[in-house]
Structure 1
């Protein structure tokens, strides 16, 4: 290579290096680190995901996911500024930089993935069947075998009958316009089961220990992920790393304690040895 070409090559490499540094400095990750706290978008009205507790403190499983990220950034899970937002503000607040990260029981869909960058899932939602612990039917198999003798209470929805019949094809479906009325139908014996989100089912059992049981069958799966503004791979990689290691690595105790608190389920420790993700 001639001296002139060597000079141009050196200048080009310097420019590339400077560009890489500039790209990193322009990442949301660096912005958040420089600011000294995370701005998290989440809700405040849907336990166990996000709600105001008796001490007037915002709490819930979504909130804990944000606290995990803050802990990874600053060694302190409480270095967070919360933006309490409605569901329809989740995407607008990201793309206008009002929040750094949204964790708000956000279902991953292809349509939404055109507007935001989704992280890896931190929870898999689905529909479940809540039973009275001392009821006539012990589990899903018993409900299904009973056929049309079973009445299922469900929150009123245009897809309610179709949803219930996907699991119990012969069951009678009673729709109610509030969750409280749905649970009242179960408590009074007007319904043998209540169909609701698995997370709501588990939270209700945590709040009422020994009174209810899970039929042991889930369907209609959907993934919940946090989301960031599109176009920032470094920030996405960082949040993904935090969530991944919370579910499989060094922060598993934080994640599993939160899972047990909100859903009443003790998770098994991640398998030691060959990474389960590659099996």
Structure 2
């Protein structure tokens, strides 16, 4: 079989290597494996024939079970994007269901190829694993009721101390709310379900929860929940891989980049609509904007 590099040189000489031609040349998994370092996980995964992904199963809209007991959610969509890039088949994945505490150990022991489990990127964790480019920016947001007279952020701000906000109990809870609603009355509760239940029972005017939860709940139950239109405290979510393997990390980054900003965006766009109720971004040819 002709060497990939030689094939590319011949196509360039003949003036035949445009974008579509190059896509077809590099589309072969075997040729891709031949280019990877002999000790790279990229070669191992391609030879194995399926991807092993560590993730959770109990946190909608990121990773949860559908009515058939199959994993679904935004993290699962990102895993399918990787499998599609590797094998042109989004189903070639073995999922390892794990607790959040197992994310770093399972990467570093080689139990999984990649962790995609709403993992916040931080300098401390980056000393233990290598992170992909971010695929989402999480934040705190305000969930309100559509029948409330304080359903928008402006309404809550104007209400001053009359605005009651529930939030999960932690050392930063009061400060987190006061960043955007300095006069609000803060109710700290012991669990996330209770934070939302306080809104359901009208004990509070808004629940301060993750932005993704606001989008998820407002999309599923528009008669019950409303996005107040305010988010803050940005946190980056990325996939995690083992350190010391630039080929594998580069592949993950490239595949995510093409899905988010490029032309192979069907899975990513469907996930934005299904889990967040968002209109996918327009990708315009020309200068890059990322």
Shift of 1:260: 1.2
Counterpart among 148, 151, 160 of residue 135 in structure 1: 148
Q: Deviations over 1:6-64 (max 9, x none)?
A: xxxxxxxxxxxxxxx79712110000000000000111111111112211101111111
Counterpart among 57, 61, 73 of residue 86 in structure 2: 73
> Is the CA contact (8 Å cut-off) linking 2:168 and 2:188 kept in structure 1?
yes
Over alpha carbons, which structure has the higher Rg? Answer: 1
Q: Name the CA distance, whole Å, in 1 between partners of 2:272 and 2:123.
A: 27
Show the 5 A alignment for 1:159-198. 159-198=172-211
Other-structure match for 2:247: 234
Cα RMSD after superposing both structures: 1.4
Give the direction of change, closer, same or farther, for the CA distance of 1:35–1:136 in structure 2 (3 Å limit).
Answer: same
Q: Name the CA distance, whole Å, in 2 between partners of 1:125 and 1:37.
A: 29
Shift of 1:253: 2.4
Note if 1:86 corresponds to 2:99: yes
Note if 1:212 corresponds to 2:197: no
Q: Name the CA distance, whole Å, in 1 between partners of 2:277 and 2:86.
A: 28
Q: Name the CA distance, whole Å, in 1 between partners of 2:237 and 2:120.
A: 5
Other-structure match for 2:261: 248
Note if 1:62 corresponds to 2:70: no
Shift of 1:191: 0.7
Q: Name the CA distance, whole Å, in 1 between partners of 2:217 and 2:170.
A: 21
SS in 1 for 2:149: coil
> Is the CA contact (8 Å cut-off) linking 2:151 and 2:205 kept in structure 1?
no
Q: Name the CA distance, whole Å, in 2 between partners of 1:154 and 1:86.
A: 23
Q: Name the CA distance, whole Å, in 1 between partners of 2:35 and 2:220.
A: 50
Counterpart among 40, 56, 60 of residue 27 in structure 1: 40
Gaps of 5+ in 2: 1-33
Other-structure match for 1:126: 139
Shift of 1:138: 3.8
Shift of 1:167: 1.2
Q: Name the CA distance, whole Å, in 1 between partners of 2:197 and 2:40.
A: 50
**Structure 1 length as normaliser, TM-score?**
0.89
SS in 1 for 2:110: coil
Shift of 1:89: 0.8
SS in 2 for 1:164: helix
Q: Deviations over 1:197-218 (max 9, x none)?
A: 0011111112212322111111
**Structure 2 length as normaliser, TM-score?**
0.85
Counterpart among 156, 173, 198 of residue 169 in structure 2: 156
